[in-house]
Amino acid sequence: MSDIVLDIVEQHAEEAAFLWLLREAALRAPHYSLADLAALEERIEAHFDGLRIAGEAGREACMAALKTQEAEEIFVAAVLALESGQPKAVLDWATERPAITKGLVSAMGWVEPERAAPMIAQLTKSPVPELRLVGIAAAAVHRIDPGPPLRDALQDPYVPLRCRALRAVGELGRTDLLPTLKTSLEDSDEDTRFWAAWSSALCANDRAAVRILQASAEAGSPRALAILVSRLSDARAWIRTLSGNPQRRRLAIVAAGLLGDPGTIPWLIEEMNHPTTARAAGEAFSAITGADLEQDRLEGAMPEGFEGGPTDDPREENVAVDEDEDLFWPKVDAVRRWWTERSSRFKQGVRYVLGLPHTKEALVKALRTSNQRRRSAAALELRLRGESQVLFEVRAPAARQARELSLANFKS
CA distance 317 to 328: 25
Name residue 356's beta-bridge partners. Answer: 353
Average pLDDT for 74-88 = 83
Tell me, what's the pLDDT at 408? 64
Average pLDDT for 60-88 = 79
Task: Say yes or no to pLDDT of 4 above 60.
Answer: no
Tell me the domain boundaries of the chain.
1-111, 351-412
Band (81; pLDDT cuts 50, 70, 90): confident
Taking only the tens place, the pLDDT of each residue in 381-410 is 999 999 888 999 999 999 999 999 998 677
Average pLDDT for 117-139 = 92
Average pLDDT for 215-221 = 91
Mean pLDDT of the chain: 90
Taking only the tens place, the pLDDT of each residue in 150-208 is 999 999 999 999 999 999 999 999 999 999 999 999 999 999 999 999 999 999 989 99
Percent of the chain with pLDDT over 90: 72
CA angle 136, 138, 139 (to 5 degrees): 65
CA distance 371 to 394: 10
CA torsion sign, 357 to 358 to 359 to 365? positive
Band (98; pLDDT cuts 50, 70, 90): low
CA distance 88 to 42: 27
30-34, 287-291, 315-319, 339-343: least confidently modelled range: 315-319
Average pLDDT for 299-305 = 89
Contacting residues for 80 by C-beta, under 8 A, at least 6 apart: 48, 51, 52, 58, 59, 62
* Strand 356-357 relative to strand 352-353, pairing: antiparallel
Average pLDDT for 119-148 = 93
